[in-house]
A and B are shown apart, each in its own frame.
Chain A
Amino acid sequence: MATTEEIRTDLADIVNEVAGVPADDVQLDKSFVDDLDVDSLSMVEVVVAAEEKFGVSIPDDEVKNLKTVGDAVSFIENAQS
């Protein structure tokens, strides 16, 4: 089972690849939209890549609740367990 930090690191790589955000900026307290400038289309790309990477399903209805990197990491942790 992946640790919170491992999930955050992998997610940071995805956000970096999709949106060009430096991976080190992708910390748990950061908001995708307000802090990292990840818009809704980039968020779709992040979600699809995360589903593949972590082997989880993130429904469209759930995506709008994932406001911060921490929200996304928690969702993935719960979905994996």
Chain B
Amino acid sequence: MTTLNPSGGSRHAAILGIGSYRPSRVIPNAEIVEAIDSSDEWIQQRSGIKQRRWATPEETITLMSVEASRKALAHAGIEASQVDAIVVATVSHMFQTPAVATAIAHELGTNRPAAFDISAACAGFCHGVALASDMVRGGSSSHVLVIGVERLSDLTDVGDRGTAFIFADGAGAVVVGPSDTPGIGPVVWGSDGEQFDLIRQREDWRDVLQQEHPQMPHLVMQGNPVFRWASFEMAKIAQATLDRTGIKVEDLDVFVPHQANMRIIDAMARSMKLPERVKIARDIAEQGNTSAASIPLALDRMIAEGDAKSGDTALFIAFGAGLAYAAQVVTVP
């Protein structure tokens, strides 16, 4: 039998740098309450959201991704030419094909890396980090750019009381590369397809085209069942992730859950019995829910504001449509 070369990689992988991009339009609750017959107070009480960022037409998926990636590369001290794979997590790139990753690769001046998009909704970024870690350790790549990017404002029904105030836009990126010590712990991930309908695009594109006045198939969500699943089932996944990593909740410095809703973040922290000293990401108050972009956006802010520092131990947990989830413990770059 012919012997094949093994694809030997680095023993360990870590996040080497992080960057983010916040779109320029700041939309306070006051601007959206009229269409949903609501109030600033109601929105803050239900979600903790005071304002969100929405992109201008010029702030495209590609532009936001490139800006975030350049910052991540600079933070990592890595040249664009060293990137040999780009993984983009998004649900709001409006082309079914090609993947936006190739356009981002070109704009960044990388040297023809593997470039593809993944679809795991709000859990996409943590899926991407898990893939990148395995790619570096498996020898498929040496430096992987993982990008979470969304323009959910394009998919938001501004008249829907349940979702209009939640969704937002932005991009975050990390560089995953080889390391002397483990900087990305084992992923705990999975899905619950029985609840496929809880968060989704309203209808199939083919059905949209059958309508007399075709309209964007906006995102729809059943809030209370999602809240229950996210707050309680995900707290169990968080614990399972700590167990697989071989650490205790007391060993965490930073908790960076997907920024879905402040009430979910608070309920998870309570269920997990998170010690008071662990810093919790609360970027949602000023950024809104940016799906795949929310974790890198939130961590980047915590680093900038001194709530997270290089070498800290952070728990990422992301969850959303599918329902799909992924979590891992990482060392803050």
Q: Which residues of A contact B (CB under 8 A)?
A: 39-41, 44-45, 48, 60
Judged by DSSP, the binding face of B is helix
Could you mark each residue 208-240 of chain B with 1 if its beta carbon is under 8 Å from any beta carbon of chain A, else 0?
000000000000000111011001100000000
6 further interface pairs, Cβ-Cβ under 8 Å (given A41-B224, A60-B224): A40-B223, A44-B228, A45-B231, A45-B267, A48-B228, A48-B232
Given A60-B224, A60-B225 in contact, is the A39-B45 Cβ separation under 8 Å? yes
Judged by DSSP, the binding face of A is helix
Question: Is B309's beta carbon under 8 Å from chain A?
Answer: no
Q: Is the CB of B225 within 8 A of A41?
A: no
Chain B residues, CB < 8 A from A39: 45-46
Q: How far is the CB of B164 from chain A (nearest CB, A)?
A: 17
Q: How far is the CB of B52 from chain A (nearest CB, A)?
A: 19
From A47, which residue of chain B is reached at the shortest CB distance? B228
- Ordered by A's residue number, 17 sampled pairs between the chains whose C-beta atoms are within 8 Å are A39-B45, A40-B223, A40-B224, A41-B46, A41-B223, A41-B224, A41-B227, A41-B263, A44-B224, A44-B227, A44-B228, A44-B231, A45-B231, A45-B267, A48-B228, A60-B224, A60-B225
Q: How far is the CB of A57 from chain B (nearest CB, A)?
A: 13
Q: How far is the CB of B46 from chain A (nearest CB, A)?
A: 7
Leading 4 A-B pairs by shortest Cβ distance:
A44-B228, A41-B263, A48-B232, A44-B227
Q: Which of B94-128 contact A (CB under 8 A)?
A: none
Given the complex of chains A and B, what is the CA–CA distance between A45 and B45 in angstroms?
15
Given the complex of chains A and B, what is the CA–CA distance between A44 and B267 in angstroms?
10
From A45, which residue of chain B is reached at the shortest CB distance? B267
Chain B residues, CB < 8 A from A48: 228, 231-232
Q: How far is the CB of A51 from chain B (nearest CB, A)?
A: 10
Given the complex of chains A and B, what is the CA–CA distance between A39 and B223 in angstroms?
13
From A48, which residue of chain B is reached at the shortest CB distance? B232
Given the complex of chains A and B, what is the CA–CA distance between A39 and B261 in angstroms?
15
Given the complex of chains A and B, what is the CA–CA distance between A73 and B228 in angstroms?
21
Chain B residues, CB < 8 A from A41: 46, 223-224, 227, 263
Given the complex of chains A and B, what is the CA–CA distance between A45 and B267 in angstroms?
8
Chain B residues, CB < 8 A from A45: 231, 267
Q: How far is the CB of A60 from chain B (nearest CB, A)?
A: 7
Q: How far is the CB of A65 from chain B (nearest CB, A)?
A: 15
From A52, which residue of chain B is reached at the shortest CB distance? B232
From B45, which residue of chain A is reached at the shortest CB distance? A39
Given the complex of chains A and B, what is the CA–CA distance between A60 and B223 in angstroms?
12
Q: How far is the CB of A16 from chain B (nearest CB, A)?
A: 13
Given the complex of chains A and B, what is the CA–CA distance between A45 and B225 in angstroms?
11
Chain A residues, CB < 8 A from B267: 45
Chain A residues, CB < 8 A from B228: 44, 48
From A40, which residue of chain B is reached at the shortest CB distance? B224
Given the complex of chains A and B, what is the CA–CA distance between A48 and B234 in angstroms?
13
Chain A residues, CB < 8 A from B45: 39
Given the complex of chains A and B, what is the CA–CA distance between A69 and B281 in angstroms?
34
Q: Which of B32-85 contact A (CB under 8 A)?
A: 45-46
